Amino acid sequence: MSQANFLLIQSSMTKTNAIDGKPAKLLHLTNQHGMTATFMDIGATWLSCTLPVNKEHREILLRSLNMEEHIKQTAYFGSVVGRYANRISRGKFSINSKPYKITINDGDNSLHGGVNGFDKRRWTIESSRENSVTFSLYSKDGDQGYPANLQVKVTYTLTNDNELVIDYFAKSDSNCPVNLTNHAYFNLAGEQSNAKSLDHTLQMHADHYLPTHDDLIPTGELRAVKSTSFDFNQEKKIGAEFLSEQDQKIAGGYDHAFIFNKKLTNGEATVVTLTSPEKEVSMRVSTTKPAIQFYSGNFLAETPGASKIYQNYDGLALETQYLPDGPNHSEWGESSGILSAEATYQHQTTYQFEF
């Protein structure tokens, strides 16, 4: 992205004040190959990512046209979501037999931290360097109903290996649910293209997924992907078996947690590979998280975007995380997402691009 294009994005996101009545702050990184990444302090948002493909700067992230639309949208474009990414049934859970009730914003359930989640907050720009930026946020005890005082930091680093590395850190003063992820929507053919998420090819090294009830809360079963449309262990076009089973029909497509083979969640092994329809661009994901929410963009219809009004499946999200409704499933162990006061929440996810 040229400096002029960055200035256009900056202008569009700052001409209207953010939800707190002040203009957003944007930061822009470029590596030696011409890959760029732009970030915003509202929601610690990964706002833009361009790749030099066919002598043009291809925008591969979906985003809002301006701040006014960003405030209205419910897609969580590129934001860091929390305290707890994904859904918590009825907004209820218990820790050490003490019940908690958090804010409800998705039918009868809580989604991505509740009514005023981390995506809507202004984060502090803790530091910025030539190739990285660190955002921090302090969440008080009782925030959205969650227990504990929580300090959070997120660092984005753009490397010369065309990686966007996201480091998550959190520390609390008592036990509480913590599940941070980034909600970027990718279209490797380009944000302006007519290509759909269903036209992309996907490979995921995941042997199990979580089927859901009609409200997209997991049933609790860890179901084997073998012999189902949820098996992406071999590279497969996303649309190949689309809506072919009831578990997909419930969600209008893929909107499910996939559980990785534990030996691959070392932050180095490739757990997911996404390839553009024309095979010009691929993205490899590595992570220390146990699972990923693969969302095929089933609810994007009529959302105003950067270049057009988005429709369903115009982009897809690959959100590394603990398991949805985890605080209500202690049997899932670490994947239930409860951070103890003695522990440090530290995870890394890397998106590496080849073009």
Judge contact between 228 and 240, C-beta under 8 A: no
Tell me the one-letter amino acid at 239. G
- For the four alpha carbons of 106, 110, 112 and 114, in that order, the dihedral sign comes to positive
Phi, psi of 118 (to 5 degrees): -60, -25
Residues in a beta bridge with 203 = 273
Q: How far is CA 114 from the centre of its chain?
A: 15
Distance CA 167, CA 44 (A): 12
Judge contact between 154 and 23, C-beta under 8 A: no
Distance CA 66, CA 80 (A): 18
Beta strand spans in 92-187 (E): 92-95, 98-101, 110-111, 124-128, 132-139, 150-158, 163-172, 176-177, 181-182, 185-186
**At 6, which helix (H) or strand (E)?**
helix 3-14
Residues in a beta bridge with 127 = 134
Task: Dig out the tokens for 164 from the structure.
Answer: 């966007």
Task: Dig out the tokens for 327 from the structure.
Answer: 């605080």
Distance CA 180, CA 88 (A): 14
Q: Is 183 a catalytic residue?
A: yes
- The binding site consists of 86-87, 183-185, 255
Residue that has been written with the tokens 């200035």 in this structure: 7
Catalytic residue among 59, 69, 191, 319: 319
Distance CA 289, CA 271 (A): 10
The candidate with the shortest Cα–Cα distance to 200, out of 248, 229, 255, 239, is 239
Task: Dig out the tokens for 96 from the structure.
Answer: 């050490």
Task: Dig out the tokens for 140 from the structure.
Answer: 């008080």
- The binding site for beta-D-galactose consists of 86-87, 183-185, 255
Residues 6+ apart with CB under 8 A from 143: 83, 150
Catalytic residue among 28, 70, 112, 183: 183
Catalytic residues: 183, 319
